[in-house]
Structure 1
């Protein structure tokens, strides 16, 4: 990440840290009850993701979409690719058309700001880092999980020092402003549906700040585009 980006992110996080507190893993019923609709259709969503995987070489690596993230995406020369359907409210028409059921769910839920398939390549490690905007929370739905030799899920998401090994069809709602990392200890690709969701129950000033930051990100997308 660039120095200017890091400084801006640190400043934003400090503002949120003073006004919003909460655990790293959140309650679906309280904080994103509509997430149950995605979990209920995980097999259909997985089928759409597997269709995308058949042309995985065409899907950009994360740092090709966001060069500021090269330190966590291009750190070890291994693949982490993102198929983005919606980014901070901006739809990607071709990608939405390729995944009609997921697109329909996303369009029916305005609080879902971003939606993507995350393809974590074999032996890829995403080093520890923190997201910047506590006004957004993240929903992970496991679609395709490689297995380790002992039968356990081979890919791990570690959030605030706790390891989460999700089986296919399982989900996690979490706050990515906590320190987190991920790795894939297998020779297969791990596939996750990742949603960025508007956080409910925020103070009024944090709602305004979050809305402003999202508008700024959208402006950046309009200028630079997204893969």
Structure 2
């Protein structure tokens, strides 16, 4: 990543780390009650994701959207493609229109800032890294998961040293500022829904700082929007 991005990310993490002491994986019922709506409708969301996947070659790779992520997105020559429907509150209407079930769920959940389908190519490894900003939480809903020879999920999400193998329809809420990595050890594409969710349980000053950061990121996304819409 760029030096400026890395320096800003480290500073941002230090500010929040002094005050927040939640675990890497959180209780969705407490921190994001709307998770149940996404879990209940996972099969309809999956159908929409598979329809999008039919034109996967037109979906941008993550580092094509965000150059600062090239070292994790383009590290091994295998694709990590992101179909972004909403980013920090900026709605990409053409993308949302292709996924009406998901669009309706996002519209009904005001704490959801971002919603994207993540397509991880066979054999793709996203190396260990940390997100920059603890003002959001990451929702992870598995839509299409290849299985290994023992019937276990073949794609592994490792967060803070703990490996998680989620089956289709399972949801996990976690803090991506903890070190994490992903490996798709299969010959099929893994598809998940990624949500960025506003973290509510913070002191007032951190909530105000988070609102400012979100507004700044939103402005940057509007400038880059032409790279996101498919």
- 1:19 aligns to what SS in structure 2? coil
Question: Which residue in 1 is equivalent to 2:32?
Answer: 32
Question: Which residue in 2 is equivalent to 1:115?
Answer: 115
Q: How many residues align?
A: 227
Per-residue Cα deviation, 1:167-197 (whole angstroms, up to 9, x for no partner): 0011111010100000100010000011000
Question: Which residue in 2 is equivalent to 1:22?
Answer: 22
Question: Which residue in 2 is equivalent to 1:138?
Answer: 138
- 1:220 aligns to what SS in structure 2? helix
Question: Which residue in 1 is equivalent to 2:106?
Answer: 106
Question: Which residue in 2 is equivalent to 1:6?
Answer: 6
Distance in 1 (alpha carbons) for counterparts of 2:131 and 2:21: 15
Per-residue Cα deviation, 1:7-31 (whole angstroms, up to 9, x for no partner): 0110011101011111001001110
Q: Runs of 4 or more off by more than 4 Å in structure 1?
A: none
**Matching of residue 205 in structure 1 with residue 182 in structure 2:** no
Distance in 2 (alpha carbons) for counterparts of 1:221 and 1:39: 28
- 2:117 aligns to what SS in structure 1? strand
- 1:196 aligns to what SS in structure 2? strand
TM-score (norm 1): 0.99
- 2:25 aligns to what SS in structure 1? coil
CA RMSD in angstroms comes to 0.7
Question: Which residue in 1 is equivalent to 2:160?
Answer: 160
| CA deviation after TM superposition for structure 1 residue 221, in Å | 1.1
Distance in 1 (alpha carbons) for counterparts of 2:154 and 2:224: 35
Distance in 2 (alpha carbons) for counterparts of 1:152 and 1:86: 31
Per-residue Cα deviation, 1:185-213 (whole angstroms, up to 9, x for no partner): 00100000110000121100110111111
